[in-house]
Amino acid sequence: MAWDTTVTLGMGDVVSNESLANLLREERRFAPPADLAANANVTAEAYERAKADRLGFWAEQARRLTWAAEPSETLDWSNPPFAKWFADGKLNVAYNCVDRHVENGLGDRVAIHFEGEPGDTRSLTYAELQREVSRAANALVELGVRTGDRVAIYMPMIPETVIAMLACARIGAPHSVVFGGFSADALATRIEDADARVVITADGGYRRGKPSALKPAVDEALTRPGTDKVRHVLVVRRTGQEVAWAEGRDVWWHELVDRQPDQHTPEAFDAEHPLFILYTSGTTGKPKGILHTTGGYLTQIAYTHQAVFDLKPESDVYWCTADVGWVTGHSYIVYGPLANGATEVLYEGTPDTPHQGRWWEIVQKYGVTILYTAPTAIRACMKWGDDIPAKFDLSSLRVLGSVGEPINPEAWIWYRKHIGADRTPVVDTWWQTETGGIMISPLPGVTETKPGSAQVPLPGISATVVDDDANEVPNGSGGYLVLTEPWPSMLRTIWGDDQRYLDTYWSRFEGRYFAGDGAKKDDDGDIWLLGRVDDVMLVSGHNISTTEVESALVSHPKVAEAAVVGATDPQTTQAICAFVILRGGAAEDDGLVEELRAHVAKQLGPIAKPKRILPVAELPKTRSGKIMRRLLRDVAENRALGDVTTLTDSSVMELIQSKLPTAA
């Protein structure tokens, strides 16, 4: 199923190859700002160096870390696809993220500026973080946690969450962070799958202006079969809500952790010691427990964080708005920034509490210089209106990042213009839970950026686009995104299920990692992500990407957000069905649907014209903010809904269904 642009059509519409080749013809280009380019951490030369000696390049990057035993070997690929990186090296991740900065005289540098949703704040220096992490590590040891034991973490976005993760890393107990928005059932299956011995949680966190409980979900999860090996629940008091208490099992953080010695000697672990298990977001189906290890992971995360965001730790204030429950939070809130000695913002709440300018207020308050967020948030801000960020001083910003979904060119332009003052580079970073770190992205001081494209594999990363038969496609064609060489922060397996690891990622194309995403190479050979392979539509013999039709819709001034699916159709195999959220102020009048259909036809060609367009108030999203097209497909095809457990808000689906009485 490659994106073939040469098929002739079976239906009335006659579409020239030219109009299909027009899909996503995005001509706008943005050169790196001269001053940024002149002082960039990474220059174009890095691509050459990595190309000439990929393993040598990574061995060099590994020297960013402080090893207790330097590795002599870079990659052991003798049993593919089970990789070992830096296998004879030894190190401690928490030491690398905290202690060594203190030893280097940076103890007074702020590591974390915490901003609670109700407005409470706390800043932690690296020296303070070292003491807190040491105390928490001692506390876990007192609770009987041993090297190799798994610890589940189910927390709001507060400093103790970062401290807990680092404490686990410090004692070599792999953590499994479960996003705090998940239900007791979702938590229970993850506790069971990882066979966790301790759960770290809080009474609750603040969400949308009120306390939102967490502890009851833990209590409920621990009544489920398979969770009986949990010995202790360590509870942070955050909101002061009433909590049920299991004597002997439950322990208050402030009672146990605060009385521990604030010194702890970190032990060095093998580079391949497990660091964490993290479940994928579940956009396409049952989440997979992705296993990451120590040395290779930290090497790539530290490198990419410094390269992609051009981080200058002595002067930048970095902010990633993800939740630590997702891989973005693991790699680019906890491990990357802290390994690099950065100063970062950690924000507990939602972007619209207590008002829709909250994020911009935070940027202004802390002088944030680097912002990393997701297209879903950018589109929400577009919908709320340009006047909101305009009220704040965002002039400190110098690099903007995006991750999580393909970013529509219009959203990209909006981000650059209204947040970045038409000055800051936007880096669209493609990667996955499985890849551990950023893989494909522009470099802000090097790449001439193209709105909507992740563009180029980073130095040391090998990615390409192939057709059904695993042949690399020529420029200008589409197919499947694959990674052709192992990389340091790659997943090592699916926890407890090597076979699923082989089947999911390594069986589709011999010797290549299949990412599950569709992609296209443009005439320059730059990569454009086209959405998940499962989301590609087949219309009258043409593969049409949901992303491209969505981007065409979002390029209409009245549309803030769009989700497109292919619904079974007797005439055309699939018919394009679009769900759109209108921008603030746009009226849903009779002519609108026709206007939007005509707009898509003009942008992409008649073949891509949606058969149905339905304005809706909300779209179904995973808790990580991604559109769940499979549920919309169920609606469009008038079927019972599939698994909704990873959906943020199930009432969204009822609302949509009620608007679609004549579905399919």
* Secondary structure (H, E, C), 43-79: CCHHHHHHHHCHHHHHHHHHCCCCCCECCCCCEECCC
Question: Is residue 189 at the binding interface for ligand ATP, with CB under 6 A as the rule?
Answer: no
Out of 24, 473, 529, 592, the residue judged to bind ligand ATP by CB under 6 A: 529
Rg (the chain; Cα; Å):
24
Kindly provide the b/e burial profile for residues 78-90, where b requires at least 16 CB atoms within 10 angstroms of the residue's own CB: eeebebbbbbebb
Is 517 annotated as ligand-binding?
yes
Is 253 annotated as ligand-binding?
no
Shortest Cβ distance from residue 553 to ligand ATP (Å)?
Answer: 17
3-state secondary structure of 390: helix
Q: Which stretch binds ligand ATP (CB under 6 A): 113-121, 274-282, 334-342, 347-355?
A: 274-282
Which C-beta is closer to ligand ATP: that of 96 or that of 283? 283
In whole angstroms, what is the distance from residue 664 CA to residue 660 CA?
9
Shortest Cβ distance from residue 639 to ligand ATP (Å)?
Answer: 19
Question: Is residue 548 at the binding interface for ligand ATP, with CB under 6 A as the rule?
Answer: no
Question: Is residue 489 at the binding interface for ligand ATP, with CB under 6 A as the rule?
Answer: no
What phi, psi does 421 have (nearest 5°)? 55, 30
- The identity of residue 264, as a single letter, is H
Out of 61, 125, 134, 429, the residue judged to bind ligand ATP by CB under 6 A: 429
Q: Which two tokens stand for residue 622?
A: 């995973």
Question: Is residue 540 at the binding interface for ligand ATP, with CB under 6 A as the rule?
Answer: no
3-state secondary structure of 307: helix
In whole angstroms, what is the distance from residue 450 CA to residue 353 CA?
33
Site string (255-284) toward Mg ion, x via CB under 5 A: -------------------------x----
Question: Is residue 550 at the binding interface for ligand ATP, with CB under 6 A as the rule?
Answer: no
- From the list Mg ion, ligand ATP, none, pick the one residue 227 interacts with, judged by a Cβ distance below 5 to 8 Å according to partner type: none
3-state secondary structure of 84: strand
Question: Is residue 432 at the binding interface for ligand ATP, with CB under 6 A as the rule?
Answer: yes
Contact 172, 269 (CB under 8 A): yes
In whole angstroms, what is the distance from residue 471 CA to residue 209 CA?
53
In whole angstroms, what is the distance from residue 554 CA to residue 133 CA?
45
Question: Is residue 130 at the binding interface for ligand ATP, with CB under 6 A as the rule?
Answer: no
Chain position whose Cβ is nearest to Mg ion:
280
Name 513's bridge partners. Answer: 483
Q: Which one, of 648, 558, 557, 561, lies nearest residue 377 by Cα?
A: 561
Shortest Cβ distance from residue 430 to Mg ion (Å)?
Answer: 12
Question: Is residue 454 at the binding interface for ligand ATP, with CB under 6 A as the rule?
Answer: yes
Shortest Cβ distance from residue 281 to Mg ion (Å)?
Answer: 7
Residue 319 per-residue DSSP state: E
Is 453 annotated as ligand-binding?
no
Residues 6+ apart with CB under 8 A from 103: none
Shortest Cβ distance from residue 473 to ligand ATP (Å)?
Answer: 18
Question: Is residue 545 at the binding interface for ligand ATP, with CB under 6 A as the rule?
Answer: no
Question: Is residue 491 at the binding interface for ligand ATP, with CB under 6 A as the rule?
Answer: no
Q: Which one, of 296, 275, 336, lies nearest residue 55 by Cα?
A: 296
Q: Which stretch binds ligand ATP (CB under 6 A): 124-132, 417-425, 511-519, 582-590?
A: 511-519
Q: Is 169 exposed, middle or buried (0-12, 13-18, 19+ CB in 10 A)?
A: buried
Shortest Cβ distance from residue 517 to Mg ion (Å)?
Answer: 8
Question: Is residue 461 at the binding interface for ligand ATP, with CB under 6 A as the rule?
Answer: no
In whole angstroms, what is the distance from residue 463 CA to residue 487 CA?
11
Which C-beta is closer to ligand ATP: that of 131 or that of 626? 626
Shortest Cβ distance from residue 501 to Mg ion (Å)?
Answer: 13
Contact 55, 74 (CB under 8 A): yes
Binning the chain into helix, strand and coil, the percentages to the nearest 5 are 30, 20, 45
Is 406 annotated as ligand-binding?
yes
Which C-beta is closer to ligand ATP: that of 448 or that of 643? 643
Q: Which one, of 369, 293, 372, 368, lies nearest residue 329 by Cα?
A: 372
In whole angstroms, what is the distance from residue 624 CA to residue 621 CA?
8
- From the list Mg ion, ligand ATP, none, pick the one residue 601 interacts with, judged by a Cβ distance below 5 to 8 Å according to partner type: none
Is 429 annotated as ligand-binding?
yes
Question: Is residue 341 at the binding interface for ligand ATP, with CB under 6 A as the rule?
Answer: no
In whole angstroms, what is the distance from residue 545 CA to residue 286 CA?
23
Out of 125, 227, 260, 283, the residue judged to bind ligand ATP by CB under 6 A: 283
Name 292's bridge partners. Answer: 276
Among all chains, which residue has been given the structure tokens 């698994």?
643
Q: Which stretch binds ligand ATP (CB under 6 A): 141-149, 209-217, 353-361, 424-432?
A: 424-432
Question: Is residue 408 at the binding interface for ligand ATP, with CB under 6 A as the rule?
Answer: no
Which C-beta is closer to ligand ATP: that of 288 or that of 556? 288
Question: Is residue 282 at the binding interface for ligand ATP, with CB under 6 A as the rule?
Answer: yes
Is 264 annotated as ligand-binding?
no
Is 559 annotated as ligand-binding?
yes
Which C-beta is closer to Mg ion: that of 280 or that of 321? 280
Is 133 annotated as ligand-binding?
no
Is 121 annotated as ligand-binding?
no
Site string (224-263) toward ligand ATP, x via CB under 6 A: ----------------------------------------
Name 202's bridge partners. Answer: 236
Residues 6+ apart with CB under 8 A from 42: 306, 307, 310, 443, 445, 446, 459
Shortest Cβ distance from residue 480 to ligand ATP (Å)?
Answer: 12
Is 428 annotated as ligand-binding?
yes
Restricting to residues 346-405, name those near ligand ATP by CB under 6 A.
Answer: 403-405
Q: Which one, of 267, 252, 122, lies nearest residue 200 by Cα?
A: 252
Question: Is residue 633 at the binding interface for ligand ATP, with CB under 6 A as the rule?
Answer: no
Question: Is residue 527 at the binding interface for ligand ATP, with CB under 6 A as the rule?
Answer: no
3-state secondary structure of 544: strand
Geometric angle at alpha carbon 289, from 54 and 195, rounded to 5°:
130
Is 209 annotated as ligand-binding?
yes
Which C-beta is closer to ligand ATP: that of 289 or that of 615? 289
* Secondary structure (H, E, C), 124-186: EEHHHHHHHHHHHHHHHHHCCCCCCCCEEEECCCCHHHHHHHHHHHHHCCCEEECCCCCCHHH
Shortest Cβ distance from residue 202 to ligand ATP (Å)?
Answer: 23
- From the list Mg ion, ligand ATP, none, pick the one residue 403 interacts with, judged by a Cβ distance below 5 to 8 Å according to partner type: ligand ATP
Contact positions vs Mg ion (CB under 5 A): 280
Binding-site annotation: residue ranges for CoA: 207-210, 328, 540
Binding-site annotation: residue ranges for Mg(2+): 554, 556, 559
Contact positions vs ligand ATP (CB under 6 A): 280-284, 287, 326-327, 403-406, 428-430, 432-433, 454, 515-517, 529, 532, 624, 626
